[in-house]
Amino acid sequence: MLSRFVLFAAILVLASAQAFRAAAHGPDDHGGHAHGATVTDGQPGSPADVKRTVRVLIRKDDFDVKTIQVRAGETVRFVITNDDLEPHEFGIASHAEHLEHRAMMKQMPNMRHDDPNVVTVDPSQTKEIVWHFGKNTDVEFSCDLPGHAERGMAGNFRVMH
Ligand SMILES: [Cu+2]
């Protein structure tokens, strides 16, 4: 029974991780994507293209910012520091992708991320994401650990054209 559960869990993680990671592939991959209209129109950025750094502080179950303004086509370095006493995530994705990722994290609450668009940040730790924004305005950041976004640990990117 145990091994069957582990196998099932592994398949679930693989399937979900692929779905979430699809967010990182950029506009060229949209054709094969199953999310419909809401797909993150962005991709991992190159550090050489970074002209702006945005610092995000996590304290007491929340981010210190609720809206981050970016320009379409801009590459931004996010430096995320966790001043809380428990781990949190900072992830960049469309609304639909975040919902999907939250459902996965409910099944696998201990799963950790060091992906191009989502990182797990331990207490007192700082991590970075370099992200190149596309033109799509449906881009949000949130902590998708169980219950966190639902309690308000989420915010929007305002993509300026
Ligand atoms: Cu959190």
Query: Is residue 121 one of the residues assigned to a domain?
Result: yes
Q: Residue 49: which domain range? A: 2-27+39-160
Domain count, the chain: 1
Classify residue 45: in a domain, yes or no: yes
- Does residue 34 belong to any structural domain of this protein? no
Ligand 1 centre to CA of 32 (Å) is: 31
Distance 40 CA to ligand 1 centre (A): 21
What rounded mean pLDDT belongs to the chain? 84
pLDDT tens figures, 37-86:
334 678 999 999 999 999 999 999 999 999 999 999 999 999 999 999 99
**Residue 123 Cα to ligand 1 middle (Å):** 11
Question: With 0-12 CB in 10 A as exposed, 13-18 as middle and 19+ as buried, what is 13?
Answer: middle
Q: What is the pLDDT of residue 26?
A: 40
DSSP 35: S
**pLDDT tens by residue, 83-120:** 999 999 999 999 999 999 999 999 999 999 999 999 99
What value does the mean pLDDT take over residues 126-143? 95
Q: Residue 58 maps to which CATH number?
A: 2.60.40.420
Q: Report yes or no on 32 lying in a domain.
A: no
Q: Is residue 14 part of a domain?
A: yes
